[in-house]
Structure 1
């Protein structure tokens, strides 16, 4: 399986002679509206804070996350991006048998292989529209007594999402640890789909979030995990570096999570545009569009008149980049994914897709 996380804008800029900023990157799944203006203004107006060490306990940052996620501040662990926490949690619990819901982000498998963990992939299938039945999943988990179940919710790249009620059923009816990656959950109705407030009452649950996608801040490397299991939490913290979150990232986090105007505007526009794109993409000849609760949409070229790689290459001269999904286990060369960008960019994508397809 190739390790591929989307477009390398630096390489594409060099190859095609475009500036990085000219590309419309439909492969990255990042909020197209940038980050919170309140957070940016705070950093600009308080730039001298870089001459101070961060608070080693990150009290204000954890308080902001606690209010945002509706969980206890004591159950928060901080990481330099979500990937660090994925690695830390897997190393800490050291599972011998893991059930990995697939297709999935490649880093889960990469980290499991480092500890020689036995991995079983539980595939969502196109013939089921990538919908996973919770009771069937529970039966599979209990049949083979998995130590760890890994769920990306919403699933990247399929867009399928378990509800919080369904996740709680899984937790109540299984004994292994459940790690839920909620990287894209903020693009949904979090009251229905997020499991963050379950960590206070379920000791076998670990929820991971980052700020790269929804808050459009991949450059600050801020991630956080939520876990009510004190022993596991203390073990993770003991292996993290002191001051692993820099001053700017911590300050931005304190403000971003409470910027209700930014949050509501992003959700309203992106969800509206997602519904629009799903409807419009569904009119393309020979293309099947799968329902999504993320800020991205998975499509399949059923006509097989062109591969996703060829489609991507045809779009790049128009400064449009889509995600060829052939690198995801369980998907073939006819699957591609597009994320939601600004309304004008979404319409340009549709225009060029209609011309090609």
Structure 2
């Protein structure tokens, strides 16, 4: 075995190959997916219409889907663009902006760097300070934008893996400054629905035409296999261009119909928010009682923790837990994190108890 973790948060096949543990028996705390699973109401609705959905092309304009998303986000459907997962929209956006120099707020999701590299543009990173609990310093970021002469800014809010977030008012200040500097801002809100309402960029869409917010259904609605993403932007001229260069029918009929139902399932949405909020508070409180750990505040459905005891590493904890069929994420591979970090998402209470007990035993 190596002494560093080569695994992605959901790479169960590699775990099965190396540890010889059937992947079906592993409780995956590394993928950040809603533990309630895909909503049964939506699954039943798809089953009833599956044949008819597969027998026809989706609406090329995705009118009903965009209307459902617009209602969910409180926006006009003319501001909505749908795609084959948020990854397609991220790629489409970066390719379409003719970026001179991009600034990425990190540590964060590696796909941003990959897409920027593929586009051939120059880019740099601004790392959040762990000594201030990764809370963003808006005015320092604005100075970095000016210093780097960046015409494109990428931030994940809440951020992965730090679980920290910009408030809506902080984003308003940042966007105003970026507009003045001629900087376009992409906000990845993959985890926004797990956060509080005060940490959203979506309500700012009508007021800033230098902003695009991207979301997907993989995490909150536990549907990574659907590959359904959506973006919002009030720059209708730019959106029109994106639709022109986007491949037609990039969202299949099943995903389009599922989205129409998903965004109106208020019972599932409220149940998820209540579960994540209560379990997040409980787990942070229990882990904070372990002196060897620093537990960071979280606005997402996952928690970032630093190991302060040099006798232990994130990989040794990972290795100990996976042998108990509990999979966390060793975060030491994230650039910008100094020290030994691990991250885990919030699952159902019984699974969370298993993880907490196992971590406590490891350090005592």
User: What's the TM-score once normalised by structure 2's chain length?
Assistant: 0.94
How far apart are 1:134 and its partner, in Å? 1.2
Which residue does 1:57 correspond to in 2? 61
1:17 to 20, 26, 49: 20
1:42 to 2:45 alignment: yes
1:153–1:181 contact (8 Å) kept in structure 2: yes
Against the structure 1 CA distance between its residues 144 and 14, is the aligned structure 2 distance closer, same or farther, given a 3 Å change threshold?
closer
For structure 1, which runs of at least 5 residues remain unmatched after alignment? none
Q: Displaced runs of 4+ in structure 1, greater than 6 A?
A: none
Q: Distance in 2 between matches of 1:305 and 1:186?
A: 37
Take 2:324 and 2:102, find their aligned partners in 1: how far apart are those partners? Answer: 42
Partner of 2:116: 112
Whether 1:88 and 2:92 are equivalent positions in the alignment is: yes
Query: Is residue 2:188 matched to residue 1:185?
Result: no
Identify the range of structure 1 (147-156 vs 5-14) with the bigger mean alpha-carbon deviation: 5-14
Q: Secondary structure at the match of 2:207?
A: coil
Where does residue 11 of structure 2 map in the other structure?
Answer: 8
The corresponding residue for 1:227 is 233
Tell me which residue corresponds to 1:29.
32
Q: Can you give the 5+ residue segments of structure 2 that lack an aligned partner in the other structure?
A: none
CA RMSD of aligned residues (A): 1.5
Q: Does the 8 A contact of 2:35 with 2:347 survive in 1?
A: yes
Match of 1:273 in 2: 279
Contact 2:78 2:236 in 1 (8 A): no
The superposition leaves residues 155-190 of structure 1 with CA deviations (integer Å, 9 ceiling, x where unpaired) of 100011111111111111223001000000000123
Distance 1:134 1:127, change over 3 A: same
Return the alpha-carbon distance in structure 1 between the equivalents of residues 148 and 338 of structure 2: 28
Mapped contact 1:142–1:174 kept (Cα < 8 A): no
Aligned pairs for 1:197-212 (under 5 A) are 197-212=203-218
How does the TM-score come out when normalised to structure 1?
A: 0.96
CA contact (8 A) 1:324 1:333 kept: no
Range 137-146 or range 202-211, more displaced: 137-146
Specify whether residues 197 and 108 from structure 1 end up closer, same or farther in structure 2 by C-alpha distance, changes over 3 A only: same
Partner of residue 336, structure 2: 330
Partners of 1:22 and 1:302 in 2: how far apart?
Answer: 31
Q: Distance in 1 between matches of 2:128 and 2:147?
A: 18
Cα distance between partner residues in 1 of 2:6 and 2:13: 17
Distance in 1 of aligned mates of 2:137 and 2:263: 33
Shift of 1:57: 1.2
1:37, distance to aligned residue in structure 2 (A): 1.6
Partner of 2:362: 356
Deviation at 1:5, TM superposition (A): 3.8
1:47-77 CA distance string (max 9 Å, x none): 1121111111111110110011111101111
Q: Which residue of structure 1 lines up, in the alignment, with residue 103 of structure 2?
A: 99
Q: What is the deviation of 1:4?
A: 6.3
**Residue range with higher mean Cα deviation, 231-240 or 204-213:** 231-240
Deviation at 1:236, TM superposition (A): 1.5
2:306 and 2:339 in contact (8 A); partners too: no
